[in-house]
């Protein structure tokens, strides 16, 4: 596994797209694990603040509709 930007040995894999990323090129992005909508009108989320991210892909914040499945 190598970094997709510089080709050096990757320190990890992007949580969103699976690209390898080295220590120099990784980024971090909060990941919303769950959304709670309580009786109060304010939705609450559980967020992982340090998810490994390649900095290149664009994770979708919402589930993507895939009507072709049906």
Our finding on whether 29 is near Zn ion (CB under 5 A) is no
Question: Which of 6, 44 has the CB closer to Zn ion?
Answer: 6
CB of 18 within 8 A of CB of 54? no
**Residue 46 is inside which H or E element, if any?**
strand 43-53
Of the candidate spans 31-39, 41-49, 51-59, 61-69, the one that interacts with Zn ion by CB under 5 A turns out to be 51-59
| Closest CB to Zn ion among residues 44, 47 | 47
Nearest to 12 by CA among 54, 61, 46: 54
**Cβ atoms of 50 and 31 closer than 8 Å:** no
Q: What is the binding site for Zn ion (CB under 5 A)?
A: 3, 5-6, 14, 16-17, 19, 22, 24-25, 54, 57
């Amino acid at each position: 596994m190598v970094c997709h930007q510089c080709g050096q040995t990757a320190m990890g894999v992007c949580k969103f797209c699976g690209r390898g990323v080295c220590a120099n090129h990784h980024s971090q992005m909060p990941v919303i694990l769950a959304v709670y909508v309580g009786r109060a009108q304010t939705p609450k989320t559980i967020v992982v603040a340090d998810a490994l991210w390649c900095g290149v892909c664009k994770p979708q914040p919402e589930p993507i509709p895939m009507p072709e499945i049906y």
